[in-house]
Amino acid sequence: MPLTLTAPRLLRVPAAPPAKRVLDLAGAVALLAVLALPLAAVTALLYATRGGRPFTRQPAAGLAGRPFLTWRFDTSGPGRTGALLERCALDGLPQLLNVVRGEMSLVGPRPEARTDRPDRLLVRPGMTGLWQVSARSDLPWEEMALLDRHYVENHWLGMDLAILAQTPRAAYRQRLA
């Protein structure tokens, strides 16, 4: 059965519960603490192999369309380090800084610079989401849009916890692909 885009059911999504922000902040700080040494090692390696450019910042539209820049490891250019980071889904780990700053959430629609899908702008973009645990980048744009819309219209803390629990396995599956 082919997926089709439909008009959003909701004109306004209720504000995220304070527990979601607590989960985001606690999770991001805990991950940054646990991953501090590996993140520092990757940053140093990229700095050495990229001529001083370990990070890139990409424009994105956040909650209510507010523009911000997402942090990512710079994986462009020659070399195995960037390809390995992308393949292991580690290139986006610096986005934990965006989560701490309140620009992103741990779970939400994929961050994009585009603002032509206003339903996505009703919640903060996420580091992971339904698109990642469903099939990652293997999905056509239309299906990713439907997953984003489903999340926006139906999200709750239990869904976020389920998505977070499935993310490492989804990233591992992608690495094997």
Question: Which DSSP letter does residue 109 get?
Answer: S
**What is the rounded CA–CA span in Å between residue 20 and residue 160?**
8
* Residue 169 CB contacts under 8 Å (≥ 6 apart), including other chains: 133
What's the pLDDT tens digit per position in 28-57? 999 999 999 999 999 998 888 877 889 999
Pick 148 or 81 by higher pLDDT: 148
**What is the rounded CA–CA span in Å between residue 134 and residue 1?**
17
- pLDDT band of 119, cuts 50, 70, 90: confident
Separation of first and last alpha carbons in the chain: 25
Residue 119 · residue 152 · CB < 8 Å: yes
pTM assigned to the model: 0.85
**What is the rounded CA–CA span in Å between residue 152 and residue 119?**
7
Residue with tokens 């902040």: 25
Residue among 118, 119, 140, 143 nearest 130 (CA): 143
What's the pLDDT tens digit per position in 64-112? 999 999 999 998 877 777 788 887 778 899 999 999 999 999 999 989 9
